[in-house]
Amino acid sequence: MISDWNDLQTLLAIAECGSLSAAARALGVSQSTVSRRLQSIENATEERLFVQTRNQGLVPAEVARPLIEAARKMRDAFREASAASGGAPVPIRIASCEVTARTFMADALGAWVHGNNPAVDLAVHDDLFALADNDFDIMVTPLESAPLDMVGRRIGIIRWALFASSGYLDAHPRERNAARLDGHRVIQASGSLADIAACRWFAGLGGDVAFLASSPLAQMEAAARGLGIAMLPESLAQHDARLVNLDFLQRPVSDVWMLARRADAAKPRIGAFMRWARGYFSAQAASATASARVSSSSITTETS
């Protein structure tokens, strides 16, 4: 029988962190304390609550899942009650990569804060899908579709293009309209970034890999310094005078999604942000479409 919140807190920390040592750091106690608490809980319940796996560390046994879910609800209820009773509001934690943080979230969060809304903690990560469940409330990432255990919406796109420095292109001229990069040095993505469709497409163009990075900004610097050809977000790289757009015939596009776990999306403060973001990004898209129409109309008038 479990009657102590510390016991449930311990189970939740182990489940979310995947190891006794990481759980101990999260709880601010020693690993021996966590180990002792777990053994005591297992003795009381007469059940083995976690299973050691090769890739995921400690994972909850089936019998432990209801206990962990109850602990998660208790923690969330405490946070909501604390905020409602005038305590310091808990910031909404948004996990993002460098590109989506700069091109999508910077302006959006500025608009959110100016509306006197609750604080937001924006964390930038190279490998979003390696994050534990307790590391974020909302995730903003390039993705082909939403995972089954998460809900959200597409908030925009990233347009990619191929770039290199003028010095590199002077030393390594590229054949006009060439469909591949054989014989060239290329700068490719690593980590979870390499798994998105656009990066897989770029990897399929060939070339000799000269540099790998999970950060598009690091890739951009490498290209600017002449290390090779990189596929970069056009909105970022086109403003760098050190880089030349190769005007490659194909230009991939990646959808950007804003996601939350189903249980988190139902919480008032997270649901409120998701609804606000839906309206914000819909308005941004409508504005961009209107601007494009005006620009197209101006060009047509000038050439008539």
The reply to whether 156-254 shares the fold of 5-84 is no
In 3D space, the residue among 72, 205, 191, 30 whose CA is nearest the CA of residue 125 turns out to be 191
Domain 92-154+255-298 belongs to what topology? D-Maltodextrin-Binding Protein; domain 2 (3.40.190)
Write down the pLDDT at residue 208.
96
Write down the pLDDT at residue 84.
63
Write down the pLDDT at residue 87.
58
Write down the pLDDT at residue 3.
64
SS3 188: strand
CATH assignment of 156-254, given 1.10.10.410, 3.40.190.290, 2.40.160.20, 3.40.50.720?
3.40.190.290
pLDDT in tens, the chain (304 residues): 566 777 888 888 888 888 888 888 777 778 888 888 899 888 888 889 999 887 778 888 998 888 888 888 887 777 677 666 665 667 899 999 889 999 999 999 988 887 778 889 999 988 787 777 778 999 999 888 777 788 999 999 999 999 999 999 999 998 877 889 999 999 999 987 888 899 999 999 999 999 999 889 999 999 999 999 999 999 899 999 999 999 888 889 999 999 999 888 888 888 889 999 989 999 888 877 776 666 555 544 555 4
Tokens coding 125: 């990560």
Write down the pLDDT at residue 295.
57
pTM confidence score: 0.67
CATH class of 5-84: mainly alpha
Write down the pLDDT at residue 135.
83
What are the domain boundaries of the chain? 5-84, 92-154+255-298, 156-254
Residue 147 zone, left/alpha/beta (φ > 0; ψ -120 to 50; rest) = beta
